[in-house]
Amino acid sequence: MRIFGVILAGGQGRRMGGVDKAQLVLAGQTLLARVTARFEPQVEMLAVSARGTHPRLPVLADAVAMGPLSGVLSGLRWAQGAGADAVVTVPVDAPFVPGDLVPRLWLAGNGGVALAQSGGRAHPTCALWPVGVAAALEAFLHSGVKARVLDFAMEQGAVMAEFADDGSFDNLNTPDDLARAEAALGPGR
């Protein structure tokens, strides 16, 4: 089984004042560096769906700009071309994703779409997507419906992989979220 990873970092960062979240610093490291360090060991290849550049990772441009699903589609097309079976996505603003995210998604999904869930709440951008859903995703994005990740995932028969509700999926969407995460990590972490 060949599973690639894609870090979703193409958002506008509106709640952060319009900054590129990938470049925000948390405890001395950019969010992109933190997510990469936690996620890269779990996948065969890693790319970032972003509006900027990255010195180490392939950057995937969105074919259509319709939110996170655009990044998922870019990732699926990239992975298909490189012979992968599936893509796991994580958002760049979730710097604490679990170290066992990929195998647990794979086991839960049994080859199909699987989403992370904790505390009864789905985390649809932390998901496993078989490359075979790319055509359906492209059609979904062009159908005129609001392009919600959870809606598409459920349309594809997604299952939930349950994780502990320990903050692993906390998104840093606002300056206050970033400050709380910084305080929780403490100095030098």
**Residue 188 counted as domain residue:** no
**Residue 186 counted as domain residue:** no
| Residues lower than pLDDT 50 in the chain | none
pLDDT value for 65: 74
The CATH number of residue 153's host domain is 3.90.550.10
What's at 136, amino acid-wise? Answer: A
pLDDT value for 80: 95
What tens digit of pLDDT does each residue of 45-79 get? 999 998 766 678 889 987 677 889 999 999 999 99
**Residue 161 counted as domain residue:** yes
Number of structural domains in the chain: 1
pLDDT value for 178: 84
pLDDT value for 188: 54
**Residue 72 counted as domain residue:** yes
pTM for the model: 0.92
pLDDT value for 56: 82
- Residues of the domain holding 176: 3-181
pLDDT value for 54: 67
